[in-house]
Amino acid sequence: MIFSTFTFILLFLPIVFSLYSASLYFGRIQLSKIVLIIASLVFYAYGSGDFFIVFVIAVILNYFFGIGLSKAINKSKMQRLMLLWIAISLNLALLGYYKYTDFVLFNINIFIEHPIEYQNIILPIGISFFTFQLIAFLVDSYKGETKGYAPTDYLLFITFFPQLIVGPIVHHKDVVPQYQGLKKSAPDLSRISPGIFLFAIGCAKKLLIADPLSEWAQKAFDVAGELNSIESWVASLSYTLSYYFDLSGYADMAIGLGMIFGIALPINFNSPYKARNFADYWRRWHMTLSKFLGDYIFRNVYDKTKGSLNFYFALFVTFFVSGFWHGAGWTFVLWGIINGAFVIMSHMMIRANRSLAFPIAWTLTFIGVISTRVLFVANDFDDAAHVLLKMFSFSDFANTIQLATLQPLYLLVGMGLVLFFPNSNAMVKSFKPSYIYAISTSLLLLASFLNMSYVRGFLYFQF
């Protein structure tokens, strides 16, 4: 189910919110949690097909692994580590089967005479995101940090529908105490109003900006080998902006929904295209993913006693894993490696106490972001190479170009919003119930409704 649809906004959300609020109003705390769990499972089942049963089994199985790890705290380290790695391996095996089977077969077929037939396995929605949450839960259960989690609190941590599919990636420490602290209460307009406002912003980002830019960019990359210099830049910039508005739009809607239900979800984007270097960029982009990778990859590789080389190696490993996690293809791996290299160079300059003037630093960073995005969205290395060569080849800038009529306007608006306007987090912080905010929210929702007849899936939906 997609947030930015009539079904979700006019049917699913009102029913779930009414049942949840009524349960809290009458002090039925456990019932309110069960309402959210059932609603979240219905939400996931709506678009997950046959994988739904596998998802439920995986979630339940991980709960029992977590209990086992928590209770085994006094057993030998070897026994606990073995149980932990069995549990993590099962999660990675599930992710690997659905996400990487054909990638493995592709690489095997390069070296054998009779190619193995590809399985064409459909990637389940949200599997990359909830797998990370489950692994974090298991690791912290091993450390004894998840004791006392009731089944309903655990299930809500994993399945809470606003963040289930595309994040933000939620750590159990962030949300389980909130579920444990639910109490009898009436609907609170002081949290519902800004939540609706933030949801409206996210919906508008998705439908009014991200979707048109994605459609135009995809049409261009479908014929990537035919693009000239200007078309290559426009298509790449269109995708760069569309990814931000798509992902941050989803995050805004998810966080806004969390506020409506009285649950604070973590911020996921903080004006990343205002960054002056790649280290700054990755502190602002998909912040919950960066935090997870920092906590569970970087910190397990980095050893403070081994100096700068180990620090840079830990960064490289972290971004290699990030690239591989993002997609089953060597273009994604190279994307991760190049991002890691840029982050390492940023830290080298920081440690050397050197910096460029902000306009130069920002320009180089943003060009780097656009260039690496080409690797992320291109069908293969050939398409990526052609687009990148055209972007930095000025011989055919005067050639005839083919652009959608409104595309330049959307790019100007998109750039204006990401560079010169406060982000949605800042807008919500300054939110005060007033006619201006009520009118703004209504106009954003109305404009979104008018563009809801056809909705593109979120770019990270099956990821």
Residues annotated as catalytic are: 326
Q: Strand, coil or helix: what is 150? A: coil
Integer angstrom CA distances of residue 343 from 39, 128, 265, 369: 41, 23, 27, 12
Burial class (CB in 10 A: 0-12, 13-18, 19+), 302: middle
Judge contact between 149 and 240, C-beta under 8 A. Answer: no
- The residue type of 74 is N
* Distance (Å, whole) CA 61 – CA 88: 11
* Distance (Å, whole) CA 261 – CA 272: 28
Integer angstrom CA distances of residue 384 from 127, 173, 319, 334, 380: 27, 40, 20, 11, 6
Q: Strand, coil or helix: what is 16? A: helix
* Distance (Å, whole) CA 272 – CA 418: 8
Question: What is the CA angle 11-16-21, rounded to 5?
Answer: 135
Which single residue is written with the structure tokens 């609020």?
A: 21
CB-CB neighbours of 401 under 10 Å: 15
Token pair belonging to 333? 């791996």
In terms of C-beta distances under 8 Å and separation of at least 24 residues, what long-range contacts does 318-322 make, across chains too? 318/293, 318/294, 319/343, 321/293, 321/297, 322/289, 322/293
Burial readout 179-203 (b: 16 or more C-beta within 10 A, e: otherwise): beebeeeeeeeebbbbbbbbbbbbb
* Distance (Å, whole) CA 382 – CA 110: 17
* Distance (Å, whole) CA 386 – CA 235: 13
Judge contact between 239 and 371, C-beta under 8 A. Answer: no
